Amino acid sequence: MIQIENLKFQYPRAEFMLRLPRLDIEAGKRVAIVGPSGCGKTTLLNLISGIALPLAGSVTVCGEEVSAMPDASRRNFRIANIGMVFQQFELVEYLDVLSNILLPFSINATLTRSPEVRSRAIEFAEAIGLEGKLTRRPAQLSQGEQQRVAICRALITEPGVVLADEPTGNLDPENKRRILDLIFQLAEKQNQTLIVVTHDMGILSGFDRVVDFQEMRFSNGAEESAGAVRASIGEQA
């Protein structure tokens, strides 16, 4: 489903470089990427979603080499195949809940906003406990509710891959588990591949696999020439 080979990435004018010799993620798996802040977890999600392009190597998602696509194709691929959930929810303040869920259909012409899509959005929202709150603005919702809206927004296009960047980072312990279970449940229902970035080691139960970036090394040029780069991928039982 997701194949990463000989990946090299570096932000402009930055010493930091992400190197990943190989990472394969099977379809329908739930994968957690853990590691300290600044180790490149979010960068990896950006590379998988095609927001960032590698300096070298390839990223293949759903059989398509994302890293080789032109801009517009990558964008269309992203909106059709990848759902994204963010730590800060990133809801649009001036839109109500339903419009936030349907946001992908408002910002990309390749998606058609049909009455069926609207019905699906309402069903989604009601299924995760947002019934009666569809006309509210994000500011009128609790943090847990805001993250539910963000999850609905990520899933409304029925993507093959869901990327969640610290989805529980802003939630209290009780909500953390609930939200994570909800993501698992919805992803499983649609047989979606789920990649969750987190530095919270307490939420790792339930994942099929954990990729620990703590064990990976990122180098500047000096370390690279010294051959200090290595990757370690742990597999959970």
Rule CB under 8 A: which residues touch other proteins? Answer: 49, 51, 71-72, 75-76, 78-80, 84, 86, 88, 90, 92-95, 99, 102-109, 113, 153
Cβ contacts of 196 within 8 Å, gap of 6 or more: 30, 31, 32, 33, 164, 167, 180, 183, 207
Q: Which is nearer to other proteins, 139 or 237 (CB)?
A: 139
Backbone angles phi and psi of 194, in degrees to 5:
-120, 125
Which residue, 106 or 185, is less far from other proteins as judged by CB? 106
If the CB atoms of residues 111 and 229 are measured against other proteins, the closer one turns out to be 111
Nearer to other proteins, 107 or 228 (CB): 107
Amino acid at 40: G
Minimum distance from residue 75 beta carbon to other proteins (Å) = 5
Closest CA to 160 of 27, 25, 5: 27
Closest to 15 in 3D by CA, of 223, 168, 180, 191:
223
Using the minimum distance from each CB to other proteins, give the nearer residue, 77 or 207. Answer: 77
The CB-of-90 to other proteins minimum distance in angstroms stands at: 4
For the CB of residue 151, give the shortest distance to other proteins in the complex, in Å: 13
> Going along 96-225, which residue ranges are E strands?
161-165, 193-198, 209-212
Closest CA to 66 of 56, 84, 80, 78: 78
